[in-house]
Amino acid sequence: MSLCHLYLQHTTSLHVEPLKENLDGVSLDIDDVDLLKNYDVYIIELEQATKEISSKLRELFKNKQNSLIYFIVSTKHNLMLFQLTYLLGAKDIITKGQSTDKLITKIIIDLKLHNKGQETLTNVHHEQTELVASRFSFINLLEEKLTHDSSSLNAITINIHNIHKIQKDIGLVALEDYLNKTILFMESLFEDILIFAQYERDFYIVLLEDSCFDETKEMADEFHHLVLESIAHKEYKFLIDVFTLNLSEKTIGEAVSTFSSIKNKELTFTQMHSESIEYTSQTQGVITEKSVLDDAYENKVSFKLLNIYNGLAITTPSKILKKVDDTIYISFEQLQGVVMKMERETILQSTMFLQDILAKIKVIDSKKKIAVLENFRFLRTNANSRKYARVTSSRKIPISLGYKGITVNGNILDLSIKSIAIKSKVSKKIDIMKNQTVSLTFNIPNYRFDQGYTQLKLNAKVMVVLPLDSDENCKIVCDFEDGSDDESIIKEYVYDRQRELIIEIKKMAKLN
């Protein structure tokens, strides 16, 4: 393994000497280099970038497009430097606060994966060497194959769930660079495929022929394992779902409908593990809750605590103060502590976590504002995934849903200015209402009226139906139609109820 450290006039990074010592490295002043030799890894250290230095580096690396490049940057780096990392296809950015030991380990792993990817790419057929086909090309090819009664046509779908969350943290340009490299690596893991296509921005499909469904499932399982290994030590981790589909006996309409159900998480557990569909989940085996929290502690990562009190989301910043065996000590703010003490659990959220993490509270000290957490578990869905702050009522509110002469009765679970969640008995009537616009009728508390309530009748679309506390009950989530005359009444109620809940929490905080 060889490393070349490039700097401009002087070097100040404390990472450099350990990197050179462990990775057989040399240091070169960019001003003195006219022809750059081949090395396994390049580390470029710049405080700022200018047009001149950008042009020179691009010239030095013009014949090294597939090189493994890292940039050491200061906290005050300019936009041009950021653009340069993108233009040179840098693998990652190295900052002052990173652990040098972990950095060395990361680069060694990156190099192994990089070499494996390059070796596989050279063996892929020429017609498969474009990065990624379009949705249009994929549909055309799929339709052609299904029309000719292909007896062994399978697909592997790759759904990346947290693209938007990561983009908020690192920006669009850095995200696209990271995403492109990840997709290139994914594609390199497949051989003899018909097509690798981008179906949507965060949804990719691999089409395979001449392999049985069981063989394809094994391939998907190994693929998912390798992808998770490749991102396990990255600061930001893509949350990926992988499905295997047997398409041999499906029409083009059925296939497209199945892709849509997978993309929108509409499959039931039974459908996810059927004769023609198999869900692959390798996360727990490769990236554990413990490893994520270890990284957060080592890198001093700040995160948010989330608790939901009567529908109201309470979220405040926190960090890990220390780790002891299988527990962590965290800081918390006063209001958060009140709800944590009641619920005896909390949820840890960060774009650097693969998924939200549920933790049980072992000990909580309200005066020192320190809690000890244990029994960590990844959550499959975002704990607060609804778009708007929501509240529960102080009393039970009956509600009816109407659609084409069919009526379903239930009780309101919670309410926001744009959506509503309803508890109801499971019935075939509810299945008919899925994805349809229904009429909602209910009385909302309103103490400005003599009778103490206001009757509302409004339209809403049934967005999702989920199992609730037993096989008998379900949760129906509906989004209100825009432009309702009753929108102001709902807003008023939600805001009033939020104030009530906040006052409740503050009173409890004073008692602690």
All structural domains of the chain with their residue ranges: 3-115, 127-286, 289-378, 390-499
CA 298, 357, 392 angle in degrees (round to 5)?
Answer: 140
Query: Taking the CA atoms of the chain, what radius of gyration do you get in angstroms?
Result: 27
Query: Which stretch of 259-268, 284-293, 409-418 has the lowest confidence by average pLDDT?
Result: 284-293
Give the per-residue pLDDT at 27: 93
Listed residue (256, 114, 110, 278) closest to 197, CA to CA:
256
Q: How far apart are CA 494 and CA 492, in angstroms?
A: 6
Read off the amino acid at residue 506.
K
Q: Give the bridge partners for 437, in sequence order.
A: 461
Could you tell me the pLDDT band of residue 130, with boundaries at 50, 70 and 90?
very low
**Of the options 3.90.1150.10, 3.40.50.1000, 3.90.550.10, 3.40.50.2300, the CATH number for the domain spanning 3-115:** 3.40.50.2300
pLDDT at 146 over 90: no
Taking only the tens place, the pLDDT of each residue in 45-93 is: 988 888 888 889 988 988 887 788 998 877 665 667 766 776 787 877 7
More confident residue, 203 or 99: 203
Give the per-residue pLDDT at 53: 87
Query: Which stretch of 132-141, 205-214, 424-433 has the lowest confidence by average pLDDT?
Result: 132-141
Decide: 466 and 268 in contact? Cβ < 8 Å: no
Could you tell me the pLDDT band of residue 125, with boundaries at 50, 70 and 90?
very low
Alpha carbon 336 to chain centroid distance? 24
Give the per-residue pLDDT at 439: 94
Question: Using CA atoms in the order 417, 421, 427, 430, what is the torsion angle rounded to 10 degrees?
Answer: 30
The token duo for 129 is 């060497």
Backbone angles phi, psi at 331, to 5 degrees: -95, 155
| Average pLDDT score over residue span 212-218 | 89
Q: How far apart are CA 319 and CA 329, in angstroms?
A: 9
Give the per-residue pLDDT at 317: 92
In the block, residue with structure tokens 């139906």: 465
**Fold observed for domain 127-286:** Alpha-Beta Plaits (3.30.70)
More confident residue, 496 or 485: 496
* 146-155, 196-205, 374-383, range with greatest mean pLDDT: 196-205
For the sheet containing 153-160, what is the strand order?
A: 195-200, 203-209, 153-160, 240-246, 277-280
pLDDT at 128 over 50: no
Taking only the tens place, the pLDDT of each residue in 235-250 is: 788 888 899 999 988 8
Decide: 182 and 238 in contact? Cβ < 8 Å: yes
Decide: 467 and 381 in contact? Cβ < 8 Å: no
Q: How far apart are CA 59 and CA 63, in angstroms?
A: 8
The answer to whether domain 390-499 has CATH 2.40.10.220 is yes
Give the per-residue pLDDT at 380: 64
Give the per-residue pLDDT at 413: 92
Q: How far apart are CA 223 and CA 220, in angstroms?
A: 5
| DSSP helix/strand/coil, 44 | strand
Give the per-residue pLDDT at 252: 85
Read off the amino acid at residue 407.
T
Decide: 1 and 114 in contact? Cβ < 8 Å: no
Give the per-residue pLDDT at 441: 94
Taking only the tens place, the pLDDT of each residue in 315-324 is: 899 999 999 9
Q: How far apart are CA 330 and CA 446, in angstroms?
A: 41
Domains 127-286 and 390-499 alike in fold = no
Return the sign of the alpha-carbon dihedral for residues 363, 366, 367, 370.
positive
Decide: 46 and 13 in contact? Cβ < 8 Å: no
Could you tell me the pLDDT band of residue 403, with boundaries at 50, 70 and 90?
very high
Residues 6+ apart with CB under 8 A from 269: none
Give the per-residue pLDDT at 385: 55
pTM over the 0.75 mark: no
The answer for 344, left when phi > 0, alpha when psi is -120 to 50, beta otherwise, is left
Q: How far apart are CA 345 and CA 36, in angstroms?
A: 56
For the sheet containing 41-46, what is the strand order?
A: 25-29, 3-7, 41-46, 68-73, 92-94
* 74-78, 250-254, 436-440, range with greatest mean pLDDT: 436-440
Taking only the tens place, the pLDDT of each residue in 334-343 is: 889 999 999 9
pLDDT, mean over the chain: 83
| Average pLDDT score over residue span 273-279 | 86
**Fold observed for domain 289-378:** Pnp Oxidase; Chain A (2.30.110)
Q: Give the bridge partners for 358, in sequence order.
A: 347, 377
Q: Are strands 370-378 and 357-365 parallel, antiparallel or unpaired?
A: antiparallel
Query: Which stretch of 6-10, 43-47, 283-287 has the lowest confidence by average pLDDT?
Result: 283-287
pLDDT above 70 covers what percent of the chain?
89
Could you tell me the pLDDT band of residue 112, with boundaries at 50, 70 and 90?
confident
Taking only the tens place, the pLDDT of each residue in 179-209 is: 888 888 888 888 778 889 988 888 999 999 8
